[in-house]
Amino acid sequence: MQRLFVFAHFDRDDIIDPYAIYYISAIAELGHVIFVSTSGLSGGEIAKVRPYTIRAITRPNVGYDFMSWQLGLKLAEYHRDLYDEVIICNDSVYAPIFPLSEMFEVMEASEAPYWGVTSNREIARHIQSYFIAFRRSVLECEKFWQFWDNVGLQPNKSAIIQNYEVGLSLSLETLGLFGATYFSMDDVLKEACLNLKCFSVLPLSLLPRYWGKEPFDIGKLLTGLCNKTLDLWKELMLARVPIVKVQLLRENPTHQPVDQILACLERYTTYPVELILNHLRRTASPSGPDD
């Protein structure tokens, strides 16, 4: 299978961090890579990824990742017949913590026209945009390319999510194209709720691998307010999902002890945890998070 990855990058210090290079080198083993950065990278920095890419370019820091993907896809549009699968991805994850080939082998058995790692139901059900793979039935659809042609500046990140992350899945669904995910607990949670009508929370016994101090709130889960990449980080890890969100460790929105998450990575994966520690140390100053 011929694949193309369009990788969106941003770093406030105008470098390509070693954790991103680790990820880029891994996807390069599975296909061609177009690297698009909104940082002011020097020639020396761009040289770090040239061995793994067919194009490595920079652009102005506007429009977030969707405008980076737009540019990369535009470069690939006239060669789209060369590829069976085109993937958009970014540096918002530490990856791969498990071989990417495992995920691709599983998803090759799916007949879905496009797929991602996880989905979310906030606003509407959609595949989370940090990693989405599009197959021939999507690539041959002119409205898919029109969607990208229409990507432009938005007033804030919330508008980006609503119009483009959610909007992409909704646009494809209006064409009768429905996506799949590598990891989904939706069916499990629905079944649990049917059998626990008298509970307002989901007991930990139903999610024996959950490492949190409190049980999940069923309402939160079923309304889509649960972000799987954050709230179910250990479930994903034990299911050999090959990513961990940078936000989980840097911003700690779930108030999990970071050292315990790192210990889990060391126990269950072969990912070089030192890459994470070095990145967290470098970005710990109050200058603000990466794009």
pLDDT at 284: 85
pLDDT means per 10 residues, the chain with 291 residues, are: 97 98 98 98 98 98 96 90 96 98 95 94 86 96 95 90 92 94 67 48 42 47 69 89 97 91 96 98 64 37
φ, ψ for residue 216, nearest 5 deg: -70, 145
Do residues 128 and 224 share a domain? no
Do residues 157 and 215 share a domain? no
Do residues 193 and 174 share a domain? no
Q: Give the total number of structural domains in the chain.
A: 2
35, 131, 134, 130: which is closest to 84 by C-alpha? Answer: 134
pLDDT at 125: 83
What is the per-residue pLDDT across 242-288, written as a single tens digit (0 to 9) for each?
999 999 999 999 888 999 999 999 999 999 999 999 999 999 865 44
- Containing domain of residue 110, as a range? 3-181
pLDDT at 186: 56
Q: What CATH number does residue 111 fall under?
A: 3.90.550.50
Does residue 289 sit within a domain?
no
Do residues 7 and 25 share a domain? yes
pLDDT at 219: 52
Query: For residue 115, what are the β-bridge partners?
Result: 133, 180
Does residue 85 sit within a domain?
yes
Do residues 223 and 107 share a domain? no
Does residue 290 sit within a domain?
no
Looking up tokens 């040289």 gives 47
Do residues 175 and 236 share a domain? no
pLDDT at 124: 78
pLDDT at 279: 98
φ, ψ for residue 205, nearest 5 deg: -65, -25
Last residue of a domain, one of 149, 181, 213: 181
Do residues 145 and 26 share a domain? yes
Does residue 287 sit within a domain?
no
Last residue of a domain, one of 134, 152, 181: 181
Do residues 143 and 232 share a domain? no
Looking up tokens 């990788």 gives 7
